[in-house]
Amino acid sequence: MKNTKLSLLDDKQKLGWLLGAVVFVAAPHALNLKPLVMVFFLLLSAWFFGSLYWNLRLPNKTLLFMLTMAGASLVLLLYRRIWGQEAGSSLFIVGLGLKLLETKTQRDAYLVVFLSFFVGLTQYLFSQSIPMAGYTLIAVILLIAAMIGLNSNQAFPVKARLTLAGVMVAQALPIMLLLFVFFPRINGPLWILPDDSHNAKTGLGDTISPGSFNHLALSQETAFRVDFDGELPPPKDRYWRGPVFWNTNGEKWSLSPTLPIALGHKPTFTDNFHHYVVTLEPHNQRWIFALDLPYTFPSEFEQTIDYQLLNKSYVTERKQYRIVSGTTYTTGTMSKSEMKKGLQLPATLGNRLYDLVKGWQKDSTNPKQLVDRALQFFREEPFYYTLNPPLLSGNSVESFLFETRQGFCEHYATAFVILMRIGGIPARVVTGYQGGQWNNIGRFLEIKQADAHAWAEVWLPDSGWTRIDPTAAVAPDRIEHGIDVETQIAFREIRFNFGGDTQRDRGLAMGYFWKKARMFASSIDHAWDSWVLAYNTDNQNKFFQWLGLFDWRSVGLWLSLGLTFSLLPIAWLILPKPGTQDDPAKITYLKFLRKLASVGFTQQIGEGPLCFADRIGKTSPELDKVVKPIFQLYVRIRYEAFHEPNDLKQLRHLVKKMATSKFKFIHK
C-alpha cells in the first residue's frame, strides 16, 4: 500500500472527520473511566484540532515521547496498574489520543481508525445494553465513512460517504447474524479482563447491620428477572434466598465459612413446585438467587448446609439458569455445629432483653408458641416500618426494641433472631429479595435492588428450619403488595404497590402510560438479555436441536448455505451494472457529453477529455470558450490529487448553464 503523506492544510476535511469519529467512539468512556483520563484524551484531541484549524504545530518526537510517558504514568497513578477493565481501557484511550498527534501519513490515519475500532469494543466491558449496541453501530459507520474519505477526493461529498458506509454496514449485518447464531460459542465470559472480578457492584453484601439495606431500597437497578413456566407463585411465597448469616457481635452480622450440604440434610418437599428461568445481573459475588427452597438446579452450582446456592466462580457477567423450587418443605434434623451457631449470642446484650423473653416463656409451652409471642410483640407494640429510622445508641438491639422502634427489614430480622436465641431456639438471618414487579407485557417477574429483604429462620422440631418474617407482622403490605419502587425513590420513604392500574382509575393517565412505557422498555431489554447476551453454548445447542442439527457437519452445511444466500443479494447490490455510474462528477460529465453530441460533437473511442477539448477548439473557437472550462474542471476533479471543495458544484452549474441551442449549427 502506498503510504501517502497527509497535509494538515489540504486534507483538513478528511482529518477533521477522522477526529470527529474518534471523539465520538471514545465519548461513552466518560461514564466509565477516571475524569483525568478523559481530560488527558480531550487535551490531545484539542491539540490535533488546533493543528488543523489554528495552525498549531504537532509535537516532535521528543515531546511525543514525554506525552506518552505522562499518559502511562497517569494511568498507573490512578489505577495502580496498566491492565484490567478500567486501567486497560484507559491505556487504549490515552494511546488513541497520542496516535492522533502523530498522524502524518495515510497509514497513520488507518492505524487511528483500527485503534478506534478496538476502543469501541472496550465499551462492552462496561455495558452490553441495546443503546450501547446502537451507539457502537453508529460509531462503526462514522469510522468507515472516515476511511472512505481518506481514499477519495473532496468531490465525493460527506453525505455520499456516510450513505456508502451505512450501506456497507447493512450489507454485513446478515453475515454477522449468521456467524453469531452458528459459529461455536466461547465458554466463559468474553467481556472481562484480569483482576476485575472484585469490582464493586450494587447488591447484597457479605455483612449486614441495622441500616445496611437503606441504599438498596432507593435503587431501581435490576437484580434479576424470572420467567415462569407455569403460574406465578403467590406474594407470600416470593422469597428469593441469598446469603445466610449466623455470626454476630451484637452490632454487625457476618457470613460463616460455607460447607456443602450433606445427604442427610437435604429438605423433603411435599408440594407447590415452580419451574422458572432466572436471568441474573452480575454482582461479583458467588451467590445465586432462587425461590425458597431450590429443589433441582444446574450441576455447576453447589448448595450449602443452609440451602444457599453458590456459583463456582464470581458472577461477573449476566447469567441465565433454570431451577425448580418447592415452597412447601421440611428440613429435618439439625447438626450439633448448627445448634451451636444457631444459639450464639454476643456478650454485650442487656438484661432487658432477657427479661422480655423470660416473660414470654411463662406463657409458652413450646418453641412455636414463643415464636408467635414474639410476632405478637412486633404486631401490637408501636413499631414503625421506615427507611429513615433514628440512630441507635448503646446496645443497638435494646435501643431498637425499647426506644426508637423504627426500622427497616434488617432491624426486625436481626432483633427477632437475637430474641429467639435468648429463648433457646436456634435462629439465623437470611437475606435476599422479596416480591418483584410483574411485567404483563413481557410476562416475567422483575426483581430490583429495592426489593432487597432480610428475614429470619428458626428451627422447630416439627418442620425444621422455618421461615419467619417479622417485617410481615409490622408491615404486612410489604409482603402482600410489594414495593412501589418509583414512588419510594421519589419520596425516599416506604411506598407499597397497592394494585397495578389504580393510577389510571384515578385519572392519572400520564402516570399509567409512563408505567406501561417502562414495562415495554424492560421487556425489550429482557428479550435482548435472554436471546442475545445469554446465547451461550447450552442455548446454542438447544437451538441446533430445535432445528434438527445434531452434529457440526450439518451445522457447517447450513452455515455455508446461509452465507451463500446472504452473499448473493449483496453481490448483486455492490457489483457494477451496465449503464450505472456512482461518481457524481462522472454523471455530470456524461450529461455534458450528451449536450455536445446534440450539436454534433461526439467523443471518439480512446480520446481523452483534454484531446476532445482541443479538437472542439480547433473546429469552433466560439464553442471552445464555453466548453474548455468544463473539461478542465472535470479533469481536475477526477484526476488531480487536490481540488477545491466547491469544484463539483461549479461543474454542475456550468453544465446546466450551457445552452445547446446557441451552437446548434456550428459543427458541419
Per residue in 45-97, pLDDT tens?
999 999 988 888 889 999 999 999 999 999 999 998 888 888 989 999 999 99
Tell which wins on pLDDT, 573 or 268.
268
226 assigned to some structural domain:
yes
> Residue range 635-657: average pLDDT?
80
Whether 420 and 489 share a structural domain = yes
Q: Can you give the pLDDT at residue 504? A: 42
Is the model's pTM score more than 0.75? no
> Residue range 138-146: average pLDDT?
94
196 assigned to some structural domain:
no
Mean confidence (pLDDT) of the chain = 85
> Residue range 133-143: average pLDDT?
94
Please check the confidence at residue 1 and state whether its pLDDT lies above 60: no
Q: Can you give the pLDDT at residue 668? A: 47
Q: Can you give the pLDDT at residue 9? A: 65
Calpha distance 16→19 (Å, rounded) = 5
Whether 220 and 139 share a structural domain = no
Percent of the chain topping pLDDT 70: 89
332 assigned to some structural domain:
yes
469 noted as active-site residue? yes
Calpha distance 104→110 (Å, rounded) = 11
Tell which wins on pLDDT, 504 or 492.
492
Whether 361 and 443 share a structural domain = yes
Looking at 453, 525, 529, 643, which residue is catalytic? Answer: 453
Calpha distance 446→436 (Å, rounded) = 5
- What are the cell numbers at 583? 461518481
Q: Can you give the pLDDT at residue 472? A: 92
Q: Which residue has the cell 446469603?
A: 243
Calpha distance 166→162 (Å, rounded) = 6
Whether 137 and 226 share a structural domain = no
163 assigned to some structural domain:
no
Q: Report the residue count for the chain.
A: 668
Looking at 274, 409, 525, 643, which residue is catalytic? Answer: 409
Q: Can you give the pLDDT at residue 642? A: 64
Q: Can you give the pLDDT at residue 486? A: 75
**498 pLDDT band (50/70/90 cuts)?**
low
> Residue range 647-655: average pLDDT?
86
Domain count of the chain?
Answer: 3
Whether 349 and 432 share a structural domain = yes
Calpha distance 563→175 (Å, rounded) = 6
Whether 142 and 230 share a structural domain = no
**DSSP result, 586-622:** HHHHHHHHHHHHHTT--PPTT--HHHHHHHHHHH-HH
- pLDDT tens digits along 399-438: 999 999 999 999 999 999 999 999 999 999 999 999 999 9
Whether 277 and 352 share a structural domain = yes
195 assigned to some structural domain:
no
Whether 254 and 391 share a structural domain = yes
Whether 384 and 452 share a structural domain = yes
Amino acid identity for residue 618 in this structure: K
Q: Can you give the pLDDT at residue 96? A: 94
Compute the half-sphere exposure of residue 551: CA atoms within 13 Å on the CB side of its CA.
Answer: 2
Please check the confidence at residue 502 and state whether its pLDDT lies above 80: no
- pLDDT tens digits along 592-622: 888 888 888 888 888 888 888 888 888 888 8
Please check the confidence at residue 579 and state whether its pLDDT lies above 60: no
Last residue of a domain, one of 151, 168, 184: 151
Last residue of a domain, one of 504, 519, 550: 504
| Phi, psi for 330 (deg, rounded to 5) | -130, 145
Percent of the chain topping pLDDT 90: 40
Please check the confidence at residue 568 and state whether its pLDDT lies above 80: no
- What are the cell numbers at 66? 514525554
Calpha distance 321→277 (Å, rounded) = 6
Looking at 196, 306, 451, 469, which residue is catalytic? Answer: 469
Last residue of a domain, one of 463, 485, 504: 504
b/e map of 197-206 (b: 16 or more CB within 10 Å)? beeeeebbee
Whether 296 and 394 share a structural domain = yes
Whether 422 and 340 share a structural domain = yes
292 noted as active-site residue? no
Q: Can you give the pLDDT at residue 263? A: 66
Q: Can you give the pLDDT at residue 2? A: 55
- pLDDT tens digits along 442-473: 899 999 999 999 999 999 998 899 999 999 99
248 assigned to some structural domain:
yes
| Phi, psi for 191 (deg, rounded to 5) | -95, 70
Whether 144 and 227 share a structural domain = no
Tell which wins on pLDDT, 459 or 491.
459
- pLDDT tens digits along 239-284: 999 999 999 988 899 998 888 887 667 889 988 899 999 999 988 8
535 assigned to some structural domain:
no
- Domain of residue 604 covers 584-663
518 assigned to some structural domain:
no
484 noted as active-site residue? no
What residues form DSSP beta bridges with 269?
329
* C-alpha 113: how far from chain center: 24
